[in-house]
Amino acid sequence: MKKPITWLSAVVFVCCLSLCAFAQMSVVKIDGKKIYLDTSEEKTAPTKGSTFKVILSSETLINSKGKNLGEIYKYSDVGTITEVQPLYAIGELKEVKDIKVGQQAVFEEIKPILPTAVKEETQKSTRAKTVYQPIEQTVISLTQADVTAPGVQNIVTLGDNNQVWVLSRGEKETLKQELAYTLPADKKAMAVSATPVKEGLAQIFVAVYIPGRNTIQTLVLENKNGALENTATLPYFVKELGCGADKKIWGQRPFIVDATPGDAREIVFEKGKFVASGATFKTRRNWLEGLNYFPIETAEKDNLIFTVSNGVLRMILGNGKRAESKDLFGSSPLRFEYKQDILKFYPSIQVFGQPGNATVAAVANGTKFGLLSETFGQYQSGKVHFLDYQKGRLQVTDTVELDGVLYDTACTDKAILTAEVLADGTSSVVEILK
């Protein structure tokens, strides 16, 4: 039964949507105590009176066990937005000595827009789901494939501690670790994919960022006599698209223009090595994370669908025009510092069903009220939304609410696979039936 939201709840709802719409703003000019902030990619400009801080530096916090606890940020004093223009905002700070062009600013508070009408809560989803017992890993990416034996459908997880785990399902929704691999210390884990590109058991593709070289590679791991071995290294950012047996592995050249990647090419195995084939599609300079390619609009033509920096999903139609979601989808905590840029990797978008009548599954991570979710600690919970293309727009038709924050999703023959990261840093793998 639907229940009306109270006035305060409605304000919280609207404020959270406003906060989710904002990403980090770049400092583009400093004039005395005035700071000019680039808002050209944002759907809605900040309001006059909103407060912000500039990120001066950051440091990764590691505990005694080597676990990544997140980023520690050093901020400037609080500034206030004094003027808003269509493509930029002006803020004032008392002290600008350590602030430079190219640094990022985050909003402490966005002035709320009061609701004009009372909204109603959506009904809880009736989709069946399995929530497995928590594992001691902060899962930033995951997938499913036959790694240990044919037909076993292992769950493969990638942790923020650079560990790849191959798991099997046990009784009472438990997961058992079968294989493990630790990435080299000079690399940062980004994403994991798995499917048999060559004959036999599935290969695992782990995309990594190398800060010292400002480059991205993908390591290929294979099960060799009961142990994972790195058998190849590819000069691409690699991610799987598709569901179950229909999955394909796609790669793109990183940093073709500044911090943007190139178009996607399918990874195949030819003449004894993994190579990028001639099968391509244009990504419009979007990373393969947070993107998909599927005939959503009609059965005759593929559509590119991706997450825009202002928080909406955008689909390129067959006539070149676009369709968007009216709902906002927050980014994941997965981000990397590349030169003067912050690389943000959105959770994967999954598409399944019949061509021309497909369903889209996308993640929205909720924020703590009054805070901008630019670090993991400021995220509060995650949801998986299911959308259909209706009347020229991507419409949310169902929502599954989860207890933890979601970095990524995967698609199997029967379910959407994700891992909710809980407050203590453990993760519960969740299968949501299609």
CA distance 180 to 199: 22
Residues 298 and 420 reside in one and the same domain? yes
Q: What does the pLDDT read at residue 4?
A: 41
Q: Is 427 a domain residue?
A: yes
pLDDT digits (tens, 9 = 90+) for 239-266: 999 999 999 999 999 999 888 999 999 9
Handedness of CA 336, 339, 342, 348 (dihedral sign): negative
Residues 179 and 249 reside in one and the same domain? yes
The CATH number of residue 309's host domain is 2.120.10
Domain endpoint, select from 61, 77, 109: 109
Residues 60 and 99 reside in one and the same domain? yes
Q: Is 159 a domain residue?
A: yes
Residues 76 and 146 reside in one and the same domain? no
Q: Is 35 a domain residue?
A: yes
Residues 139 and 251 reside in one and the same domain? yes
Q: Is 120 a domain residue?
A: no
Domain endpoint, select from 77, 109, 141: 109
Residues 324 and 409 reside in one and the same domain? yes
Residues 167 and 87 reside in one and the same domain? no
Domain endpoint, select from 48, 80, 109: 109
Closest alpha carbon to 68 in 335, 251, 309: 335
The CATH number of residue 37's host domain is 2.40.10.410
CA distance 354 to 351: 10
Residues 82 and 165 reside in one and the same domain? no
Residues 83 and 213 reside in one and the same domain? no
Number of domains in the chain: 2
Residues 221 and 362 reside in one and the same domain? yes
By CB atoms closer than 10 A (0-12, 13-18, 19+), residue 86 is exposed
Regions of the chain with pLDDT less than 50? 1-23, 43, 110-122, 369-377
Give backbone dihedrals phi and psi of 16, rounded to 5 degrees, phi first.
-60, -40
List, edge to edge, every strand of the sheet that includes 427-433. Answer: 129-131, 427-433, 415-421, 405-411
Q: Is 17 a domain residue?
A: no
Q: What does the pLDDT read at residue 7?
A: 36
Domain that holds residue 65: 23-109
Residues 76 and 195 reside in one and the same domain? no
Q: Is 346 a domain residue?
A: yes
Q: Is 195 a domain residue?
A: yes
Residues 293 and 157 reside in one and the same domain? yes
pLDDT digits (tens, 9 = 90+) for 180-198: 999 999 999 999 999 999 9
Q: Is 123 a domain residue?
A: no
